[in-house]
């Protein structure tokens, strides 16, 4: 039976005269489907009991990209260049991350997701990299559609890591569409990938549970641009499948 993968969502407005939508970018859904999972979009709801019911149904949790995280979650005042935040989404994803980490349910956290994971476990973030870190790498290449697939900088991967085993290399070029990043690493996480300027770009768990946080956007690369990323989505879905059969 195919494992069910929760993909958390965002609230968006498509028409100014219509009520808001809840959804996620199709690329995440396609990546999970292609890897053998059954994707399920989790709405942004302010109902802990209902959220827990949904969480209990799924075999793995994918935390996708999106807005900035409200810095109050790591006890900082907003930086002047903090982007838009979504307090409702923060609550849902921080909760999903904490539950999944506590139970060892497989997690794949992408872009905002790696940041959510770090904050959920007690870490902090750079709120705006260009102002807070001296680097020659432009990590934020958003704003133009082609930049989703532009390979911006190397990702240097720790040889003894799940990521290195799955992707089969210790260095590859990645896309980069972020202006926030992990600052202080949370307990329970281990850095397994960095950019040449030292920015943390990949984390795993310290306890062996399948937990993979990635600052880049592999959901935009696996199909055409770097098929090695297929193995990462497949590894996640397989771990979700194994966690399902062990429950």
Structure tokens that stand for 246 in this block = 């062990």
Nearest residue (CB) to Mn ion, 150 versus 231: 150
Identify whether 170 is a catalytic site residue.
no
Residue 107: which of 93, 119, 122 has the closest Cα? 93
> In the complex, what is the shortest distance from the CB of residue 196 to Mn ion, in angstroms, rounded to a whole number?
10
The residue from 93, 111, 128, 179 that is catalytic is 111
206 with 190: CB under 8 angstroms? yes
d(C-alpha 137, C-alpha 176), whole Å: 10
- Please report whether residue 141 would count as binding Mn ion according to CB under 5 A: no
First-residue to last-residue Cα distance in the chain? 14
> In the complex, what is the shortest distance from the CB of residue 147 to Mn ion, in angstroms, rounded to a whole number?
12
Contact window for Mn ion (CB under 5 A) among 10-18, 95-103, 113-121, 170-178:
170-178
Nearest residue (CB) to Mn ion, 29 versus 125: 125
Beta strands in 125-246 (DSSP E): 125-126, 153-157, 171-174, 181-182, 189-194, 200-205, 211-214
> In the complex, what is the shortest distance from the CB of residue 8 to Mn ion, in angstroms, rounded to a whole number?
21
47-76 footprint of Mn ion as x/- string (CB under 5 A): ------------------------------
Nearest residue (CB) to Mn ion, 87 versus 198: 198
Nearest residue (CB) to Mn ion, 19 versus 143: 143
- The CA radius of gyration of the chain, in Å to the nearest whole number, is 17
> In the complex, what is the shortest distance from the CB of residue 193 to Mn ion, in angstroms, rounded to a whole number?
10
Identify whether 217 is a catalytic site residue.
yes
The residue from 93, 204, 219, 238 that is catalytic is 219
117 with 109: CB under 8 angstroms? yes
Binding residue count for Mn ion, defined by CB under 5 A: 2
Burial of 114 (0-12, 13-18, 19+ CB in 10 A): buried
80 with 105: CB under 8 angstroms? no
By CB under 5 A, name the one of 73, 139, 217, 230 that touches Mn ion: 139
Residue carrying the six token digits 């940041």: 115
Query: Looking at the chain, how many residues does it have?
Result: 247
- Please report whether residue 112 would count as binding Mn ion according to CB under 5 A: no
Nearest residue (CB) to Mn ion, 9 versus 176: 176
Active site residue ranges: 111, 217, 219
| Site of interaction with Mn ion (CB under 5 A) | 139, 176
């Amino acid at each position: 039976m195919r494992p069910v993968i929760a993909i958390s969502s965002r609230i968006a407005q498509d028409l100014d005269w219509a009520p808001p939508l809840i959804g996620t970018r199709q690329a995440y859904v396609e990546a999970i489907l292609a890897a053998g999972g059954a994707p399920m979009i989790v709405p942004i709801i302010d109902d802990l009991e209902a959220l827990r019911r949904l969480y209990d149904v799924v075999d793995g949790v994918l935390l996708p990209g999106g807005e900035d995280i409200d810095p109050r979650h790591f006890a900082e005042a907003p930086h002047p260049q903090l982007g838009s935040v979504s307090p409702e989404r923060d609550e849902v994803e921080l909760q999903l991350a904490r539950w999944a980490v506590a139970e060892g349910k497989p997690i794949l956290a992408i872009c905002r997701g790696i940041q959510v994971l770090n904050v959920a476990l007690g870490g902090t973030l750079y709120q705006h990299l260009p102002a807070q870190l001296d680097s020659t790498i432009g990590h934020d290449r958003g704003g133009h559609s082609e930049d989703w697939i532009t390979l911006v900088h190397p990702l240097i991967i720790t040889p003894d890591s799940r990521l290195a085993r799955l992707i089969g290399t210790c260095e590859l070029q990645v896309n980069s569409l972020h202006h926030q990043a992990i600052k202080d690493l949370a307990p329970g996480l281990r850095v397994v990938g960095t950019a040449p300027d030292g920015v943390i770009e990949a984390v795993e768990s310290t306890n062996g549970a399948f937990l993979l946080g990635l600052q880049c956007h592999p959901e935009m690369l696996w199909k055409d641009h770097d098929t090695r990323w297929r193995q990462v989505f497949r590894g996640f879905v397989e771990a979700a499948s194994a966690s399902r059969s062990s429950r």
